[in-house]
Amino acid sequence: MDDPIDINQTRRGLMIGGALSVTAAAIPGVGSAQTPGATSPGAATTPAPVTSKVALRVNGQRYEMNVDTRTTLLDLLREHMHLTGTKKGCDQGQCGACTVLVDGRRINSCLSLAVMHEGAEVTTIEGLGTPQKLHPMQAAFVKHDGYQCGYCTPGQICSAVAVLDEIKQGQPSHVTGDITQRPLLSVDELRERMSGNICRCGAYSNIIDAIGEVGGVATGAAAAGAKA
Amino acid sequence: MKAFTYQRAKTPAEAAAAVVKVQGARFIAGGTNLLDLMKLEIETPTLLVDVNGLGLDKIEPTSDGGLRVGALVRNADLAADMRVRRDYGVLSRALVAGASAQLRNKATTAGNLLQRTRCAYFYDPYQPCNKRVPGSGCSAIGGYTRSHAIVGQSEACIATHPSDMAVAMQLLDAKVETVRPDGKARVIPIADFYRLPGTTPHIENTLTAGELITAVTLPKPLGGKHFYHKVRDRASYAFALISVAAVVQPDGSGRVALGGVAHRPWRVAAADQAMPRGAQAVTEQLLAGARTTDDNAFKVPLVQRTLASVMAEAKKA
């Protein structure tokens, strides 16, 4: 009997193997394609794949890879580095499932090319904490049940860590009352700043409770009571 | 996505020269719009020239009391700059009203100016679109037009410009600084930067082949109270149905620009002059000759009511 886990690994391995063979076949075309002025109008319709080198650090580990220029940072993380914690949701920058921290700032990894991250320091959900030693935000999501299916959760957590940092730095948001002052650490601010992360299960209130606990914001019943 | 070659430019002039040399070459900075369009093969560049290493990421004072914003300043950094928050509040407000924090961390000042329309027909490669395939026709005309233009549109295109930042830039009379492939620089007043669709909706601005935006300059501060009111289907992270950018002085005079109503940020000199006479008078000037459909006729009263709310807020102490 096949172990289901082995089947899974085989499938992933096959996919990676397939991608690599395409890359290998493409290499002879690279030289001519990179010569300025050598691109003929006909070549534009069926261009050969092109690879490029990129070196970057992910979760503290250095990687140097040769990738198809079309590879997004998201696909680099998932398909090449096997860091599958970062999720592909919409793949067009609308859902936030692919959110990672690059040089300390949150971005949509699906809308960024891997080759554009030469020298970058990337932190994914795997780099924030481990099952044995959770990041405080991860622990708070567990405590407050800040998810249902869990697919958006890595992006939500990376985003949430950045939100608290952005408020600490004093960055204004759409709901900041007086933008010449430091933003308040409030539920309204948290909600607005998390709007780039969609949760189809609708765990939003628990997500805000989790972020609020880490950030020291009164949320839920306590905040509602304070408003009343 | 179609395959492309990739290179990093070292100077603005080198980048401009590289792009003009190869047919189908494009600059890439934040890439948040370009990559999205490349995945759909609406954009199919043969070469991407990465301009992120050009050092155009500073915000500096100008000699005439304004600010020079480097082309690569990220939207989040521009919105958070204390000089912008204090002296150009409408710009900071417009920026934080747009996109999500993740996108604002990547999107650049120049890229934001150059973002393409969000017309659903432009995004659908199976429908004719004069902006995507010149001469193929416009599927939006006679289609679902709730988000489309009500002024300045043509028989070829009724798309709107999606940027919030550009509306504030238009209001502030910003200037776009560029460098051309021959290394020569020029300055384009933002009033002359965007084109109406006319018969060539695929040509959206007055940049020439290979011309690279290096900075956007803001004139010295206007004073007054600054507003950017954006009306959309969600409270956050959605494109504008309409938006009103305004600077109102204590005597009720001021200036106003609209987003979400035209192929470009929309400003009318006579509307600025009508500011002391109230929202209705201003709207009549802004939207004179508006052509609406059943789907988007709501935008006219929505502009007037949003303006009225801005003016009421301006009167508060």
So what's the ipTM on this one? 0.97
The letter for the amino acid at B201 is P
A37–B contact, CB cutoff 8 A: yes
Residue type at position A146: G
Torsion sign, CA atoms B212, B214, B219, B224: positive
Q: Quick one: what percent of chain B has pLDDT higher than 70?
A: 100
User: How confident is the model over B20-35, as pLDDT tens digits?
Assistant: 999 999 999 999 999 9
In this predicted model, what pLDDT tens digit does every residue of A51-82 receive, in sequence order? 999 999 999 999 999 999 999 999 999 999 99
Q: What was the pLDDT predicted at A227? A: 43
CA B283/CA B279 separation, integer angstroms? 6
* pLDDT for A220: 67
Is B47 in CB contact (< 8 Å) with chain A?
A: yes
**Choice among A12-21, A90-99, B160-169 with the minimum mean pLDDT:** A12-21
Whether B124 contacts chain A with CB within 8 A:
no
- Using an 8 Å Cβ cutoff, are A185 and A202 in contact? no
**Under an 8 A CB cutoff, do A69 and B47 touch?**
no
On whether any CB of chain A is under 8 Å from the CB of B41, the answer is no
Name the pLDDT band for A221 (thresholds 50, 70, 90): low
Given a cut of 90, whether residue A3 has pLDDT beyond it is no
| Packing angle, helices A204-215 and A153-168, rounded to 10 | 40
pLDDT higher than 60, residue B277? yes
Residue A125 has pLDDT above 80, yes or no: yes
3-state SS assignment for residue B217? strand
Predicted local confidence at residue A77, as pLDDT = 98
pLDDT at res. A18: 44
Query: B182: which 2 tokens?
Result: 């021959």
Q: Please check the confidence at residue A38 and state whether its pLDDT lies above 80.
A: no
From the list A108, A171, A191, the residue facing B102 with the nearest CB is A108
Burial of A24 (C-beta count, 10 Å sphere; 0-12/13-18/19+)? exposed
Span B40-55, pLDDT tens digits: 999 999 999 999 999 9
Mean pLDDT of A170-194: 97
With tokens 């590879």, the residue in question is: A71
- Would strands B47-50 and B5-8 be described as parallel, antiparallel, or unpaired? parallel
